[in-house]
Each structure stands twice: as structure tokens, then as C-alpha cells.
Structure 1
Amino acid sequence: MAVPVSWILSQPDLSIELRGGAAGTGRTISLVVTTELENPFRWLSGSELVLTTGMHLPTSAAGRATYLRRLNQRGVAAVGFGTGLTHPEVPADLIAAADEIGIPLLEVPLPTPFAAIVKRITERSAQLQHDDLLRASRAQPRMTRALVRSGARAIVRELATSLRATVLVLDTNAHVTDVHPAAPAEELLHTVRTALAADRSAGASGVATDSSGHTITHQRIGVGGRVHGDLVVVSTAPLSAVDQILLGHANSLLTLDFEKPARLWEAQHRLNSTVLGLLLNTDADLNPAWAHLAQAADAAGRIRVLAADCDTTEAVDGVRSIAESMAVRSGHPLFLHIVDRRVLVVLPGVAPVAFAGQLAADLAPGVRRSVRFGLSGEHSLRELVTAADAAGLAASAAERGSAPSEFGTLTGSSLLSFDTTRRVLDTLAHTVLTPLTEHDSAHGTDLLISLRAYLEANGQWEAAAAATGVHRHTLRKRITVAQGLLGCDLDSARVRAELLLAILARGN
């Protein structure tokens, strides 16, 4: 990224001072070159900061002026003149020539090494590039959300804000349909239309500069052979590579927005036909609806359902908005249904976990903490209701704000995952297990621990004794005491099952 000349002058520790050419301090530096050549001009391509001690500087004032003029003609951004070696100070005639030409002439004192300037500008350039990429990474999703929520006008506003420029959309007749922040003067608008007309025969995009120094960058809005108009950016400086990426992203979104009406009409016609068929046929043939839903399935015809249980209507709106944005970015159809505060999304059977995780991650932290996500296993298309029920159960068992819970992972813990079941088991634990806990507390025994080991070993004495670290005869005595305190028959499988669930619910 280019660094303004004014920025390097603002670094106090470098002690660089402007001696001449103040009119050019708005220039930008892309590269730092150190040279003592008499004729360095052929090696320069523009936007350099040339550092020299003037070792081979021409001896005459006219020669030094010509030297500066030729550097300026090569597009050099500024000249850094090191003093204290060949020259004790910057020659006065060189300062006068810099003022006349308008090329910044900087004095670099002897204590400031040229390498320090090179390092500082390189670091600043890297920082600016990082900031630019960060700006783009934040602007792109904002533009995508703008498309979903507010359409083309919001995209134009977001692009203009990100580029700090004027953005226009012109239709195929060169009429302005959208502009932000304000329409340019009529003369500049005429220049825009002229640039568009000149480039239409050559290609779909181009860059031009008007007499006032504005840069006009434009791209054709369209897909295939269908053209909807032009997207134009009017800026005070040429767009950077990152700016061009944002422009291209906005163009793609605008193309989607312009293409959307035709696709919406087609979808609406299919839906209307389906509804009419359902109304006209008493047998209610749902095959057209299943055929429409097949767009959501993978190549094998499998689907999975994502359920989001939301505590608030704000969370419902957030989940729906993010899902819509992700569908636009991916280009996949969105099948989303809301019942009360549960949002259901039908996804392809192949690899929907990443989609579900990204949806959860994209929610604002405050909203995410009020949502529980559940994901069903793979099902055939006609098992939609089963998949939706499984996703709902998984969501009920998930923690708020966590990654989506998959239905298949609930095996072995599903009963303890649901609040209603858990309350019953908690009551059972408190009622039935109290005699054991009181005995252990009064006598320092481990009856409850021993009983759990026995139950989890399914009555196998050797395995249970090994788990508790005692002899099997000791374990038998403990279980006999526990059975007497509980007043139950541990030979009954149903009794053992209830007791184990009660212990698991209690957390022992």
C-alpha cells in the first residue's frame, strides 16, 4: 500500500524536514530507493522515495534542477537528501528548483540512517494493507446483509461508505437510478456518461480521469447476454486492489438483485400452481410440493434439518437474517419455516454441520446466548417430519449459545438432556437415595458409590469390585446393607434401571 509523503514527515523520531516542494506532499510512496547514480532515471518506474547523499549530484545549479525535473518526470514521489556527508546542508538552488517543480525535497539528517526510513515505510505499507483487507472483510458481509434487507440502494450506500467515494447506478439508458452520498455536478455526470459510452464498445468496465482530477471507475451490471446498467465509482484517487475487490463484490450483489425479480416470478408461479392444485384436488396431491422441496436435498436425495430454539423474537429475526444472508452467498435455495420461536432450516444431507456452525458463529454474542441449536441426522426427503422432530429434540438438549447439538450424539444421555425427564429423575433421586446418603454421611461409608459401580457393571461382582478398588466380598456386604436401607429387590432389572438413572441424575 502507498504511504503519503506527509506521513513520513510526521514521524518525529526520524527528524526528517521538508525543505522544498510543499505542493507535492500529497503524493504517495510505494517504494524506497537508495541511489548515488548520476543517471538513475531509467531504473525508476514511479511513486518512489529516492534517498541520496548527493555524492554524484551535478555541480551546477542548472544541472541539479534538471536532475530533479527528470526525477519528477519519472513519477518519483519525493527526494530524501542526506546531509552531513557529501553536503553539510541541502543546496539552496535545489530547494528553489523543488519549489518550482512541486516535488517534495526532504532533508535527512546524518543521525537518521536510510535503512530506518526504508523499514518505517515498509512497516507502514504492510499495516495499511492489513487495514485495507480488514476493511474489505467487514464491508463484504455488510453489503450482503444490505442486499437481503434493503436491496440495491443499501448496497450502493455501503459501497460508497467503504470507498469514501460517490457511487452511482445508471440504467441501460444512462439514467441515474441510485446514488450515494449525493449526485455529482452536471459536468462531472456528463463526463461519466461519456466514459461509459466510450467503453461500451470495447468492454464492460473501464477507468477514466476528468479535468478536475476525479477518477471514474465503472463496471457493467449483468450476466450472460443480459445487461441491467452500470455501477460507477467517482473518487479523488484511483481505487486500490482491495477497493476493486469491493467494487466487484457489490457488482455481483447488484446483479443478483436485478436478476431476482425474474427468478422470484418463476418461483411464485410454481408455488401458485402447487397451491391451486391442492385446492382443486380433494385428494390433495402433495407431489408437486415434494418436488419443489427436492432442491434442498443433496445428490443422493438426503436432507438434514437444523432447528434453532429462540428465547426472544429478536433471536428469531437474527437467525432468519443470517440464514438468508448465507443462502445468498452460497447460491443455494433457502427452505426456512418458523413455528412460534423455533426456526427450522432444511439443509442438504451432505456436510451441513459447517453451515450450522457458521450460522451460530455469525450471530451477535448477545443473541447467540438465547438460542439453542439442534441438527438432525440424515433422512430421505419424505422423512422431513421425522428429521424436524429429531432436530427439535437435539435443540431441546443443547446448551444456549453453544455449537449445534447433533441428534445422533444424544445416545446414552438423551433422557438426562430434557428438563421434564430430569425433574422426574431428580425427585426420584431425592426420595429413594436419601437413606444411603444419610448413612454414608453418618458412618463414613461408601454405599452410594458401591451401588453405582454394581449397577453400572450390570451386577457383575468382579467388575464392580475392580471399579471401586475393594474385594468382592466387601462389595457384597455393602450392597446387602444398601438393599436393606432402600427396601428394594436388586434382582429386578427394572429396579436396577431406575436406581441407576436416579444416581446419574443426582450426579454421583
Structure 2
Amino acid sequence: MSVPVSWVLSQPDLAIPLRGGAAGIGRTIDLVITTELENPFRWLSGGELVLTTGMRLPATPEARASYLRRLNERGVAAVGFGIGLSHAEIPEDLIRTADDIGIPLFEVPLPTPFAAIVKRVTERSAQLQYDALLRASRAQPRMTRALVRSGARAIVRELATSLRATVLVLDAETRITDVHPDAPDDELLHTIRTALASDPAAASGVHTVHGQSITHQRIGVGGRVHGDLVVVSPAPLSAVDQILLGHANSLLALDFEKPARLWEAQHRLNSTVLGLLLSHETNLAPAWTHLAQAADAAGRIRVLAADCDTLDAVDDIRSVAESMAVRSGHPLFLHLIDRRIRVVLPGVAAVAFARELAADLSPITSRAVRFGLSGEHPLPELVTATDAASMAAAAAERGSAPSEFGALTGRSLLSFDSTRQVLDTLAKTMLTPLTDHDSAHGTELLVSLRAYLEANGQWETAAAATGVHRHTLRKRIATAQDLLGCNLDSARVRAELLLAILAGGN
């Protein structure tokens, strides 16, 4: 484990005061080496604390500055300069250069052996490694228990606490589903999304932005991707921290990938509960409590009806609906009887669910199904919502988008075969005298009557619609009334005539 330079400087028994490069004391040390080589640079890989007595230090200030700069370029964490042998003190030009480039330069007095510094840093590194492993060994079972007891949110909380960082779970659309301790501000969230988008095919990555480390891992099993686990921390995660992150990721993947048998059993239970509630049985309080899972936060539901022409269409719809429920993590309440499917959905999410379901069907299935969607209802109005969805499905066209019950206003009677047959008969019976008269005399009695009825008996409005004077329209309506043998002053008569005209397509 890396040891902060500041910790080494804080050890009183080492007595190694900082002489230059104070801006870099936040650097961390991975290894301590001693060298008197003139060109040690090729053997350095970064993170070293270099100890030297300056035995072969260049003779000129320019060359010494170049020496220190090259150490810094190789990623050296700090330099310890031993005095009392080759040099009585650290050259001032070295101190100025250390300040310029921000590499810590401290003085090692003659009584302090280099070996003491090596030993102290090595022991501290081992202690930090042990502490990290101990922390990880305690955190892993806590996260596992959290999954069993409380689900994904508890895992995120445990990981954030263990890493002392901000942890987020983002879904496949990069929306936050869980976060601890606090949600990031808009700027940081944009930075996170940008980091994820920079390499969308990568299963993991580390980015440093504005002094913060953003580490992410893809959450998924096989080809299914559920989102990303993201850690925002002041410094890059250590190897042990990465182990904890991987463990949390695995647990989250397990939570997302609940066994198919569990989902199937849950769907069967939900279907049974829904069937009981639609059967008008008594003593169904537990079933109503179970069904409450289907409602939205306001306690409202919508029912999706699918009337299928074939059993293959039934199987296709049920399969697609179950897959959508598994992906979303929401319970599925589906009832099937006689090739008619009824699904209870949360009020706020129903339209999107219904449209996605219809769009995911094969073309063959789509042509064999009529979809209807009820309006929003309180949960106790389940039967009313189901009836409305059934009416909307009966009025829908095969292969079209789900028909919403509210959209039937003004045309519902003409949408059902049974009522349309009655209205067709009514049209042929009542309107024949008018159609015969118009055909024989070239008049427009039927057109004028429709305009009059649709204008609610307003003469000026109806006359304008037909393009004639209101007195002309009055004569035509009087003639029509005589031919039909009815009283147009009656609202019921006017209503029946208008329905007959609409049903006849006139």
C-alpha cells in the first residue's frame, strides 16, 4: 500500500525536515530506494522515495536542476538528501528547483540511517495493506448480508462506507437508481456520464477529472447489461478497494439477475391473485393487499387488454410481457382466459409499457391482436378499469397501437359490432323516405337534416354549414319532418336520427 509523504515527514524519531517542494507532500510512496548513480532514471518506474547523499550529484546548478527535474518526470514521489557526508547541507539551487516543480525534498541528518527510513516506510505499507485487507474481509460479508436483507440500496451504502467515497448505480440509460451518501450535483453527474460515454464498449474504467477519480464497472451477466457501478473518490482506488468494488458488482448483478424460476413463480402467484379479484369472490383482503404492488405511488392503476385471435399470439404476448417485467424489476399481474389477456399496470407507466409491448411483438402476432387500455383508476376500481380496457380493445384495429378508452368519446357506440348492427337497421328503417325523396327530386334533405342535428338545432350555424339561407333550411327541415313522420322538437328523436345518419355513413 502507498504511504503518504506527509506521514513520513511527521515521524519525530526520523527527524527529516522538509526543505523544498511543499506543494507535493500529498504524493504517496510505493517503494524506497537508495542510489548514488549519476543517471538512475532508467531504473525508476514512479512512486519511489529516492534517498541519496549526493555523492555523484552534478557540479553545476543547471545540471543539478536537470537531475531533479528528470527524477520528477519519472514519477518519483520524493527525494531524501543525506547531509554530513558528501554535502554539509542541501544546495540552495536544488531547494529552489524542488519548489518550482513541487517535488518534496527533505533533509536526512547524519544520525538518521537510510535503513531506518526504509524500514519505517515498509512497516507502514504492510500495516496499511493489512488494515485494507481486514476492512475488505469485514465489508464483504456485510454487503452479502445487505443483499439478502435489503437489496441493492444497502449494498451501495456498505460500499460507500467502506471506500469512504460516493457510490452510484446508473441504469442502462445512465439514470441514477441508487446513490450514497449524497447525489452528485449536475456538473459532476455530467462528468460521470461523459466518462461512461467516452468508451461505451469498456466493461470498466478509471478517469481522473478535476482532481477526482471516477472508477466504473459495468453491471451485467452474459449479454445482458443492467447499468454501471460508479465510485467517485479523491484518489484512485487501491487494489483492495478494487476487490471490494468487484464483490459489490457481483452482488448487484445477482440482484438484477434473479433466477428465472423465482420470476415465473411470482408471475403465477400474481396471475392467481388477479383472477381471484376479477371473480368477485368474497374475503379477498389479502389479495387486494398483494395487488397493491401493481399501483403507482398515487395508488392508481390502468388495465391493458389484449384480445388474441390465436394461441400463438397469446404465448407471444405473455412471453414479451414477462421479459419486460423482469427487465424493469416490476411485478407482473397478468390474467388469461379464452385468449383474452388482462394486465394490471401502474397508472403513470402504463402507456409506455403498452406501447413497448405492442412494438416488441412479431408482425404475425401484431396482426392477430387488438389492444385496449383503460384510463387511470384507484386500485379498488379494478373491475371498472378492466371493463373499460375490454371495450377499448373491442373497438381497436388489429395491428394498431393500443386504443385508449378515453379516446372513444364521441365514437364508442359506432365502434362495437353489436350496437352498429342496431344502428344500421335504424338507419335503413328511418332514413329511407329521405334518401328516396333526394334521389327522385335532386334535393338535399338528408344533408340538411344532419347539419341541423349536429348544430343542436341552431339555425344560423346549420345554415352556414350547408351554405343556404336559414329560411331555406327551415323549409327543408319541415319537409324532412313530414316525410319521417316524427317530431324534431324531441331530444330523443334528434339523438336517434343523428346516430342513424352517422351509422349509415351519410
Partner of 1:221: 219
1:51 touches 1:82 (CA, 8 Å); kept in 2? yes
1:131 and 2:131 correspond: yes
Measured after TM superposition, the shift of residue 271 of structure 1 is 7.4
- Measure, in 2, the Cα distance between the counterparts of 1:263 and 1:173: 27
SS at match of 1:85: coil
Identity of aligned residues (%): 82
Q: Over residues 341-382 of structure 1, what are the superposed CA-to-partner deviations in whole Å (9 max), with x where a residue is unaligned?
A: xxxxxxxxxxxxxxxxxxxxxxxxxxxxxxxxxxxxxxxxxx
Partner of 1:205: 204
Partner of 1:48: 48
SS at match of 1:260: coil
Measured after TM superposition, the shift of residue 198 of structure 1 is 2.1
- Measure, in 2, the Cα distance between the counterparts of 1:194 and 1:226: 22
Partner of 2:25: 25
- Measure, in 2, the Cα distance between the counterparts of 1:59 and 1:103: 21
- Measure, in 1, the Cα distance between the counterparts of 2:237 and 2:265: 39
1:52 touches 1:80 (CA, 8 Å); kept in 2? yes
1:199 touches 1:205 (CA, 8 Å); kept in 2? no
Partner of 2:159: 159
Q: Over residues 73-120 of structure 1, what are the superposed CA-to-partner deviations in whole Å (9 max), with x where a residue is unaligned?
A: 000000000000001111111111111110000100001111111111
SS at match of 2:79: strand
Q: Over residues 420-469 of structure 1, what are the superposed CA-to-partner deviations in whole Å (9 max), with x where a residue is unaligned?
A: xxxxxxxxxxxxxxxxxxxxxxxxxxxxxxxxxxxxxxxxxxxxxxxxxx
Q: Over residues 389-425 of structure 1, what are the superposed CA-to-partner deviations in whole Å (9 max), with x where a residue is unaligned?
A: xxxxxxxxxxxxxxxxxxxxxxxxxxxxxxxxxxxxx
254, 257, 275: which is aligned to 2:255?
257
- Measure, in 2, the Cα distance between the counterparts of 1:263 and 1:99: 65
- Measure, in 2, the Cα distance between the counterparts of 1:272 and 1:105: 70
Measured after TM superposition, the shift of residue 241 of structure 1 is 0.7
SS at match of 2:266: helix
SS at match of 2:177: strand
Measured after TM superposition, the shift of residue 143 of structure 1 is 0.7
1:95 and 2:119 correspond: no
1:206 touches 1:217 (CA, 8 Å); kept in 2? yes
Listed as ranges, the matches of 1:113-124 within 5 Å are 113-124=113-124
Measured after TM superposition, the shift of residue 137 of structure 1 is 0.2
Count of residues paired in the alignment: 274
1:173 and 2:186 correspond: no
Listed as ranges, the matches of 1:425-504 within 5 Å are none
Measured after TM superposition, the shift of residue 10 of structure 1 is 1.1
Partner of 1:424: none
1:111 and 2:123 correspond: no
Measured after TM superposition, the shift of residue 266 of structure 1 is 2.1
Measured after TM superposition, the shift of residue 184 of structure 1 is 1.9
Q: Over residues 130-181 of structure 1, what are the superposed CA-to-partner deviations in whole Å (9 max), with x where a residue is unaligned?
A: 0000000000011111111111111111101111111111011111111111
Letter paired with 1:74: R
Listed as ranges, the matches of 1:378-393 within 5 Å are none
Measured after TM superposition, the shift of residue 257 of structure 1 is 1.2
Measured after TM superposition, the shift of residue 268 of structure 1 is 3.4
Listed as ranges, the matches of 1:9-408 within 5 Å are 9-201=9-201, 203-210=202-209, 212-260=210-258, 262-268=260-266
- Measure, in 1, the Cα distance between the counterparts of 2:56 and 2:173: 60
Scaled by the length of structure 2, what TM-score is found?
0.52
SS at match of 1:49: strand
1:22 touches 1:102 (CA, 8 Å); kept in 2? yes
- Measure, in 1, the Cα distance between the counterparts of 2:102 and 2:80: 14
- Measure, in 2, the Cα distance between the counterparts of 1:146 and 1:199: 31
Q: RMSD between aligned alpha carbons?
A: 2.0
- Measure, in 2, the Cα distance between the counterparts of 1:106 and 1:100: 15
Scaled by the length of structure 1, what TM-score is found?
0.52
Structure 2 alignment gaps of length 5 or more: 274-506
- Measure, in 2, the Cα distance between the counterparts of 1:31 and 1:229: 38
- Indicate the larger mover: 6-15 or 187-196: 187-196
Measured after TM superposition, the shift of residue 216 of structure 1 is 1.0
- Measure, in 2, the Cα distance between the counterparts of 1:248 and 1:17: 41
Measured after TM superposition, the shift of residue 269 of structure 1 is 5.3
Measured after TM superposition, the shift of residue 183 of structure 1 is 1.7
Measured after TM superposition, the shift of residue 261 of structure 1 is 7.5
Letter paired with 1:197: A
Letter paired with 1:238: P
Letter paired with 2:185: A
Partner of 1:454: none
Measured after TM superposition, the shift of residue 273 of structure 1 is 10
Listed as ranges, the matches of 1:403-418 within 5 Å are none
SS at match of 1:62: helix
- Measure, in 2, the Cα distance between the counterparts of 1:207 and 1:263: 37
Measured after TM superposition, the shift of residue 64 of structure 1 is 1.2
